[in-house]
Structure 1
Amino acid sequence: MATVLVVEDNAANMKLTTFLLESAGHTVLAASDAEAGLTLARDRHPALILMDIQLPGMDGLEATALLKRDAATRDIPVIALTALAMKGDEERIRAAGCDGYVAKPIDYKEFLATVADRLPGA
Protein backbone atom coordinates (compact mmCIF):
# COMPACT_ATOMS: atom_id res chain seq x y z
CA MET A 1 0.00 0.00 0.00
CA ALA A 2 1.05 3.63 0.37
CA THR A 3 3.25 5.66 2.69
CA VAL A 4 1.20 8.37 4.43
CA LEU A 5 2.61 11.26 6.44
CA VAL A 6 0.46 12.30 9.41
CA VAL A 7 1.15 15.73 10.92
CA GLU A 8 -0.77 15.83 14.22
CA ASP A 9 0.14 17.29 17.62
CA ASN A 10 -2.51 15.46 19.66
CA ALA A 11 -1.20 12.05 20.78
CA ALA A 12 -4.65 10.42 20.92
CA ASN A 13 -5.54 11.63 17.43
CA MET A 14 -2.16 10.46 16.12
CA LYS A 15 -2.68 7.02 17.66
CA LEU A 16 -6.16 6.68 16.13
CA THR A 17 -5.08 7.93 12.70
CA THR A 18 -2.02 5.65 12.70
CA PHE A 19 -4.13 2.66 13.74
CA LEU A 20 -6.70 3.27 10.98
CA LEU A 21 -4.05 3.74 8.29
CA GLU A 22 -1.98 0.73 9.36
CA SER A 23 -5.13 -1.41 9.57
CA ALA A 24 -5.75 -0.49 5.91
CA GLY A 25 -2.22 -1.61 5.03
CA HIS A 26 -0.48 1.77 4.81
CA THR A 27 2.90 2.75 6.21
CA VAL A 28 2.72 5.79 8.50
CA LEU A 29 5.28 8.56 8.94
CA ALA A 30 4.47 10.69 12.01
CA ALA A 31 5.27 14.31 12.80
CA SER A 32 3.98 16.28 15.79
CA ASP A 33 4.53 19.75 14.31
CA ALA A 34 4.59 21.46 10.92
CA GLU A 35 8.37 21.87 10.75
CA ALA A 36 8.97 18.14 11.29
CA GLY A 37 6.22 17.39 8.77
CA LEU A 38 7.82 19.60 6.12
CA THR A 39 11.18 17.88 6.63
CA LEU A 40 9.65 14.40 6.38
CA ALA A 41 7.67 15.37 3.28
CA ARG A 42 10.80 16.64 1.53
CA ASP A 43 13.00 13.72 2.62
CA ARG A 44 10.59 10.79 2.25
CA HIS A 45 8.09 11.92 -0.46
CA PRO A 46 4.99 10.19 0.96
CA ALA A 47 2.08 9.34 -1.34
CA LEU A 48 -0.28 11.42 0.83
CA ILE A 49 -0.10 13.92 3.71
CA LEU A 50 -2.75 14.21 6.43
CA MET A 51 -2.31 17.66 7.96
CA ASP A 52 -3.82 18.87 11.22
CA ILE A 53 -4.64 22.56 10.89
CA GLN A 54 -4.24 23.70 14.49
CA LEU A 55 -0.59 22.95 15.22
CA PRO A 56 1.85 24.60 17.64
CA GLY A 57 4.07 27.19 15.96
CA MET A 58 3.43 27.11 12.22
CA ASP A 59 -0.16 26.04 11.52
CA GLY A 60 -1.19 23.42 9.00
CA LEU A 61 -2.46 25.96 6.46
CA GLU A 62 0.91 27.71 6.33
CA ALA A 63 2.71 24.37 6.11
CA THR A 64 0.43 23.24 3.27
CA ALA A 65 1.06 26.48 1.38
CA LEU A 66 4.83 25.90 1.69
CA LEU A 67 4.47 22.31 0.46
CA LYS A 68 2.43 23.45 -2.55
CA ARG A 69 5.01 26.14 -3.46
CA ASP A 70 7.91 23.64 -3.35
CA ALA A 71 8.55 21.79 -6.64
CA ALA A 72 9.68 18.72 -4.68
CA THR A 73 6.40 18.39 -2.74
CA ARG A 74 3.70 20.28 -4.66
CA ASP A 75 2.25 17.14 -6.25
CA ILE A 76 1.74 15.29 -2.96
CA PRO A 77 -1.98 15.41 -2.07
CA VAL A 78 -2.70 17.04 1.31
CA ILE A 79 -5.85 16.26 3.28
CA ALA A 80 -6.69 18.57 6.17
CA LEU A 81 -7.64 16.86 9.43
CA THR A 82 -9.31 19.42 11.60
CA ALA A 83 -11.90 20.24 14.20
CA LEU A 84 -12.54 23.47 12.27
CA ALA A 85 -15.95 22.66 10.88
CA MET A 86 -17.61 26.07 10.82
CA LYS A 87 -19.04 27.62 7.68
CA GLY A 88 -16.19 29.02 5.64
CA ASP A 89 -13.48 26.82 7.18
CA GLU A 90 -13.45 24.34 4.30
CA GLU A 91 -13.07 27.18 1.80
CA ARG A 92 -10.08 28.60 3.74
CA ILE A 93 -8.54 25.15 3.97
CA ARG A 94 -8.92 24.49 0.24
CA ALA A 95 -7.67 27.99 -0.60
CA ALA A 96 -4.45 27.18 1.29
CA GLY A 97 -3.89 24.27 -1.10
CA CYS A 98 -5.40 21.30 0.69
CA ASP A 99 -6.76 18.66 -1.68
CA GLY A 100 -9.32 17.30 0.76
CA TYR A 101 -10.88 17.81 4.16
CA VAL A 102 -11.82 15.46 7.00
CA ALA A 103 -13.54 16.87 10.06
CA LYS A 104 -12.76 15.67 13.58
CA PRO A 105 -13.98 13.66 15.30
CA ILE A 106 -13.11 11.26 12.50
CA ASP A 107 -15.73 8.97 11.02
CA TYR A 108 -13.44 6.05 10.22
CA LYS A 109 -15.34 4.91 7.10
CA GLU A 110 -15.39 8.42 5.63
CA PHE A 111 -11.75 8.90 6.63
CA LEU A 112 -10.54 5.71 4.92
CA ALA A 113 -12.65 6.44 1.82
CA THR A 114 -11.16 9.95 1.56
CA VAL A 115 -7.63 8.59 1.98
CA ALA A 116 -8.19 5.92 -0.69
CA ASP A 117 -9.73 8.46 -3.06
CA ARG A 118 -6.75 10.83 -2.76
CA LEU A 119 -3.96 8.30 -3.14
CA PRO A 120 -2.23 8.43 -6.52
CA GLY A 121 -3.62 5.78 -8.84
CA ALA A 122 -6.97 5.70 -7.01
Structure 2
Amino acid sequence: MKILIADDSRVMRQIVVRTLRQAGFGGHDIVEAENGRQALELAAQETPDLILSDWNMPEMNGIDLLINLRAMGSQITFGFVTSEGSDEMRQKANAAGASFLIAKPFNAETFADALAAVGITS
Protein backbone atom coordinates (compact mmCIF):
# COMPACT_ATOMS: atom_id res chain seq x y z
CA MET A 1 0.00 0.00 0.00
CA LYS A 2 1.16 3.53 -0.77
CA ILE A 3 0.36 6.36 1.66
CA LEU A 4 0.66 10.05 0.81
CA ILE A 5 1.13 12.36 3.80
CA ALA A 6 0.49 16.06 3.17
CA ASP A 7 1.51 18.53 5.87
CA ASP A 8 3.50 21.76 5.72
CA SER A 9 5.35 20.78 8.89
CA ARG A 10 8.20 18.31 8.29
CA VAL A 11 8.13 17.41 11.98
CA MET A 12 4.42 16.62 11.83
CA ARG A 13 4.92 14.44 8.74
CA GLN A 14 7.59 12.53 10.69
CA ILE A 15 5.21 12.15 13.66
CA VAL A 16 2.47 10.81 11.36
CA VAL A 17 4.91 8.31 9.80
CA ARG A 18 6.06 7.17 13.25
CA THR A 19 2.48 6.82 14.46
CA LEU A 20 1.56 4.81 11.38
CA ARG A 21 4.46 2.46 12.10
CA GLN A 22 3.33 2.11 15.72
CA ALA A 23 -0.16 1.29 14.44
CA GLY A 24 1.25 -1.54 12.32
CA PHE A 25 1.56 0.26 8.99
CA GLY A 26 5.37 0.32 8.86
CA GLY A 27 5.82 -1.82 5.76
CA HIS A 28 4.05 0.52 3.38
CA ASP A 29 5.48 3.02 0.88
CA ILE A 30 5.29 6.58 2.20
CA VAL A 31 5.25 9.66 -0.04
CA GLU A 32 5.37 13.15 1.49
CA ALA A 33 4.05 16.52 0.31
CA GLU A 34 4.63 19.96 1.83
CA ASN A 35 1.31 21.45 0.71
CA GLY A 36 -1.93 20.63 -1.01
CA ARG A 37 -0.73 21.62 -4.47
CA GLN A 38 2.25 19.27 -4.26
CA ALA A 39 0.00 16.55 -2.83
CA LEU A 40 -2.39 16.92 -5.78
CA GLU A 41 0.52 16.48 -8.21
CA LEU A 42 1.90 13.50 -6.28
CA ALA A 43 -1.53 11.89 -6.09
CA ALA A 44 -1.64 11.88 -9.90
CA GLN A 45 1.95 10.63 -10.26
CA GLU A 46 2.15 8.12 -7.41
CA THR A 47 -1.46 6.83 -7.26
CA PRO A 48 -1.52 6.33 -3.48
CA ASP A 49 -4.06 4.09 -1.79
CA LEU A 50 -4.48 6.50 1.12
CA ILE A 51 -3.96 10.23 1.64
CA LEU A 52 -3.51 11.69 5.12
CA SER A 53 -3.67 15.46 4.97
CA ASP A 54 -3.43 18.42 7.27
CA TRP A 55 -6.25 20.93 6.89
CA ASN A 56 -4.27 24.19 7.00
CA MET A 57 -1.38 24.36 4.53
CA PRO A 58 0.05 27.03 2.22
CA GLU A 59 -0.63 27.13 -1.53
CA MET A 60 -3.60 24.77 -1.26
CA ASN A 61 -5.27 23.69 1.96
CA GLY A 62 -6.45 20.17 2.69
CA ILE A 63 -10.14 20.70 1.97
CA ASP A 64 -9.32 22.23 -1.43
CA LEU A 65 -7.00 19.30 -2.11
CA LEU A 66 -9.83 16.88 -1.38
CA ILE A 67 -12.35 18.86 -3.46
CA ASN A 68 -9.91 18.92 -6.41
CA LEU A 69 -9.22 15.19 -6.14
CA ARG A 70 -12.93 14.35 -6.11
CA ALA A 71 -13.58 16.75 -9.04
CA MET A 72 -10.97 14.80 -11.02
CA GLY A 73 -12.83 11.58 -10.27
CA SER A 74 -10.36 10.27 -7.70
CA GLN A 75 -11.81 7.92 -5.11
CA ILE A 76 -8.57 7.60 -3.09
CA THR A 77 -9.32 7.05 0.59
CA PHE A 78 -8.72 10.46 2.17
CA GLY A 79 -8.41 11.34 5.85
CA PHE A 80 -7.55 14.53 7.66
CA VAL A 81 -4.96 14.66 10.45
CA THR A 82 -5.41 18.12 11.89
CA SER A 83 -5.46 20.16 15.06
CA GLU A 84 -8.98 21.34 14.30
CA GLY A 85 -11.65 18.75 14.93
CA SER A 86 -14.79 20.83 15.44
CA ASP A 87 -18.17 19.42 14.43
CA GLU A 88 -18.36 22.01 11.65
CA MET A 89 -15.00 20.90 10.21
CA ARG A 90 -15.98 17.24 10.46
CA GLN A 91 -19.21 17.97 8.57
CA LYS A 92 -17.30 19.93 5.92
CA ALA A 93 -14.79 17.08 5.56
CA ASN A 94 -17.53 14.46 5.25
CA ALA A 95 -19.45 16.55 2.72
CA ALA A 96 -16.32 16.86 0.56
CA GLY A 97 -15.73 13.10 0.64
CA ALA A 98 -13.26 12.54 3.48
CA SER A 99 -13.37 9.11 5.08
CA PHE A 100 -12.31 10.34 8.52
CA LEU A 101 -10.79 13.17 10.52
CA ILE A 102 -8.19 12.48 13.19
CA ALA A 103 -7.75 15.40 15.56
CA LYS A 104 -4.42 16.12 17.23
CA PRO A 105 -3.26 14.92 19.68
CA PHE A 106 -3.49 11.36 18.42
CA ASN A 107 -1.85 8.00 19.05
CA ALA A 108 -1.35 4.70 17.26
CA GLU A 109 -4.71 3.38 18.44
CA THR A 110 -6.46 6.46 17.00
CA PHE A 111 -4.88 5.75 13.61
CA ALA A 112 -5.56 2.01 13.74
CA ASP A 113 -9.23 2.60 14.65
CA ALA A 114 -9.78 5.26 11.97
CA LEU A 115 -8.16 3.17 9.25
CA ALA A 116 -9.93 -0.04 10.28
CA ALA A 117 -13.26 1.81 10.17
CA VAL A 118 -12.70 2.47 6.45
CA GLY A 119 -11.46 -1.05 5.71
CA ILE A 120 -7.71 -0.41 5.78
CA THR A 121 -5.75 -2.91 7.82
CA SER A 122 -2.04 -3.29 8.32
**Do Structure 1 and Structure 2 share a fold, with TM-score over 0.5?**
yes
1:81 paired to 2:85? no
1:5 paired to 2:4? yes
Q: Can you give the 5+ residue segments of structure 1 that lack an aligned partner in the other structure? A: none
1:38 paired to 2:37? no
Q: Return the TM-score normalized by structure 2.
A: 0.86
CA separation in 1, counterparts of 2:100 and 2:52?
9
What's the offset of the Cα at 1:99? 1.4
Alignment partner, residue 14 of structure 2? 15
Question: Larger deviation: 107-116 or 77-86?
Answer: 107-116
CA separation in 2, counterparts of 1:96 and 1:84?
16
What's the offset of the Cα at 1:79? 0.3
Q: Return the TM-score normalized by structure 1.
A: 0.86
CA spacing shift, 1:4–1:69, aligned 2, 3 Å = same
Cα RMSD for the two superposed structures: 1.9
Percentage identity across paired residues of the two chains: 24
Partner secondary structure for residue 61 of structure 1: helix
CA separation in 1, counterparts of 2:120 and 2:75?
10
Q: Can you give the 5+ residue segments of structure 2 that lack an aligned partner in the other structure? A: none
What's the offset of the Cα at 1:115? 2.5
